[in-house]
Structure 1
Amino acid sequence: MGIPSYIDNMSEWKDSFSYRYPLSVRFSETDAFGHMNNTVAFVYFETGRINFFKDIGLSKEWFSSGGKMIPVTADLQCDYIRQIFFDQQLHVCVKVAHIGNSSVDLHYMVVNEKEEVCLTGRGRMVQLSRETGKPVSWSENARIYLQS
């Protein structure tokens, strides 16, 4: 398998992540062969993304404004590099790749205990008005959170 198109240099890309969220592969996430079901990767990305937003303070923006804005996933991609098995200890790594007017492109990397890359991914989140369903530009504070 080649390097996904959103990665120019795997070594540099891997080193550019600073956010890591630990998790353990649960039995319910595996199939009859003992390896992680392919749909679970997206749940791991979501878990990493939500905790990333909480830890950088961006979730405060969504909740402190009376719930007027909500984040939605516009697209999500996963590339499977290495099999993952029950009870493995993993880290979901998340980073901001690009900040748009009302969207943010995130990159994801899941590594095992040996720091081997198991999954890579990318996706776009868009901030929408809960009332109109239309995109809402990032506030200056939100941009600061995303750039941190």
Structure 2
Amino acid sequence: MQSSYISNMGEWKKGFSFSVPVQVRFSETDMFGHMNNTVPITYFEYARIEFLKYLGFMGKWMQEDEEAIPVVADIQCDYVRQVYFEEKLNIFVKIDNIGNSSLDLHYLAINNKEEMCFTGRGTIVQMNRQTGKSIRWNESQLQSVQV
């Protein structure tokens, strides 16, 4: 299965270098031990925040007097294989495209057998917390996120 945002799976997978480990908890599964279909979005959030910390964005955004905040504009998940209770995954995240005030992020979940479990993409926008209007990336931010 290949999603519309992936033109060449091999090349797409090579572009990932940042990941976070997760283990599927009991509370994230149904009565058959399958991971609930809403959980990957939570994993994407965790990986996204850790990635943005790594880039140096979260510290500034978390300051009380900072006008800019990140907002998720859209999110998508494509399921490739079943995931089960206690399964260990690596959730990869990368920047696919940089807009004036947005980042298009791509996600990849791989299990310990090196099998792809699910993929995803989503856009975050840097916005003014008072006005709700987008804020352009500054030069320092752009240098941090060059694809």
TM-score, with length taken from structure 2: 0.95
Contact (CA 8 Å) 1:21, 1:48: kept in 2 or not? yes
Q: Match of 1:133?
A: 132
Contact (CA 8 Å) 1:61, 1:142: kept in 2 or not? no
Q: Deviations over 1:39-73 (max 9, x none)?
A: 00100000000010011211133235822111000
Q: Percent of counterpart pairs with the same letter? A: 52
Q: How far apart are 1:124 and its partner, in Å? A: 0.5
Q: Match of 1:124?
A: 123
Amino acid at match of 2:113: K
Contact (CA 8 Å) 1:20, 1:92: kept in 2 or not? yes
| RMSD over aligned Cα atoms | 1.3
> How many pairs align?
147
| Distance in 2 (alpha carbons) for counterparts of 1:74 and 1:146 | 18
Q: Match of 2:31?
A: 32
Q: Match of 1:55?
A: 54
Structure 2, unpaired ranges of 5+: none
Amino acid at match of 1:125: I
Q: Match of 1:142?
A: 141
Q: Deviations over 1:113-132 (max 9, x none)?
A: 01111010001000100111
| Distance in 1 (alpha carbons) for counterparts of 2:87 and 2:29 | 11
Secondary structure at the aligned position of 1:120 is classed as: strand
